[in-house]
Amino acid sequence: MPLSKVRETAKRIKEMKIQGAVSISLAAAQAMEHFIKSSKAKTRKEFIAKLEEAASILIDSRPSAVALPNAVREYVAKVSEIEAEPPKLKKEALRIGRALVKEITESVDIIGKFGAVEVKDGMNILIHCHSSTVMAVLKQAWRNGKRFEVYCTETRPWGQGYVSASELSNYGIPTRLIVDSAATRFMQQGIDLVLVGADTVTKEKSVVNKIGTSQLAIVAQKLKIPFYVATETLKFDSSRTADEVEIEERPADEIIRRDQLPNVKIRNPVFDITPAERIHRFITEDGVLQPGEIDI
Ligand code: RUB
């Protein structure tokens, strides 16, 4: 079935089996590729209609991040411009998909290179959640010979901090794991840089990222610790302000078994918003920029 892989990928994204905006976008591109290869559409009209259906299944899988809808919409828009009929149209669509994947992976590499320059010898760096873009920065810095330590917050409730900690320590980078609520204490004791990823950067350059990011930014500002966001421009959203972003709220049982506190309503928002005035720099594929230097 042409749409089966698309549906399965959307389900895996929803169930957090695929996480992090870049990985989600790449998985969506892969699912689109599978759909195109197995499409039996005879006409251009039929093909585009099904492609749009595939796109909306993927887009609906997680509401707060914009890289996925941006990537998928750009894909559909480019394919829709092609006048050819299948099978030529299919061939062109696959080429566009491959170019998009290349663009995303190259952006991550370039951000790694720009970001590595910001990492200095002897730094203690605090990160939150698991961001493949942040991983790229830290690994590139390590490859460049910088020597530093990384503090990973556990990142309740899903524990993406374990993924980060395991990835970095396997790379040879000295890594510490801390519970989320220990972040302020370590920041008071000598964190030199807070580095996070982004799911969306809104019109006014607010950053939507994993819940807990905004409190790290508040503490960083108070303690005068630079707060950096590593993000592909694919995550820029010129259509929404922070107030207009729907913050995904996930099931209560991700936090606690429901029968443990039967009379308590558990809330589980998974992203929050950090305003531009708390962000020192954005590390993007266009360079390391202050919020005021970015055009969204
Ligand atoms: C992941 C998260 C990451 C961003 C950036 O949240 O908030 O910081 O997605 O990651 P979740 P990347 O685990 O809920 O998807 O740099 O890989 O795009």
Give residue-wise pLDDT tens across range 80-123.
999 999 999 999 999 999 999 999 999 999 999 999 999 999 99
Rounded to the nearest 10 degrees, what angle do helices 88-118 and 132-143 cross at?
60
pLDDT at 1 over 80: no
pLDDT at 161 over 90: yes
At 92 the pLDDT is 97
At 151 the pLDDT is 99
At 55 the pLDDT is 97
Phi and psi dihedrals of 240, rounded to 5?
-130, 145
Annotation says 199 is catalytic = yes
Taking phi over 0 as left and psi of -120 to 50 as alpha, with beta for the rest, 46 belongs to: alpha
Query: In angstroms, what is the span from residue 24 Cα to ligand 1's centroid?
Result: 9
Residue for token pair 């997680």: 62
Q: Which of 152, 199, 237, 272 is catalytic?
A: 199
At 99 the pLDDT is 97
At 63 the pLDDT is 85
Q: Average pLDDT in the 216-239 region?
A: 98
Quick one: which atom of ligand 1 is closest to the CA of 230? 16
At 2 the pLDDT is 83
pLDDT at 24 over 80: yes
Q: Average pLDDT in the 130-144 region?
A: 98
pTM over 0.95: yes
Quick one: which atom of ligand 1 is closest to the CA of 65? 9
For the stretch 29-88, pLDDT in tens is 999 999 999 999 999 999 999 999 999 999 999 988 899 999 999 999 999 999 999 999
Band of the pLDDT at 136, cuts 50, 70, 90?
Answer: very high
pLDDT at 169 over 80: yes
Q: Which helix (H) or strand (E) holds 200?
A: strand 200-202
DSSP 65-120: -SHHHHHHHHHHHHHHT--PPTTHHHHHHHHHHHHHHHHHHHHHHHHHHHHHHH--
3-state DSSP assignment of residue 217: helix
Rounded to the nearest 10 degrees, what angle do helices 44-59 and 4-14 cross at?
10
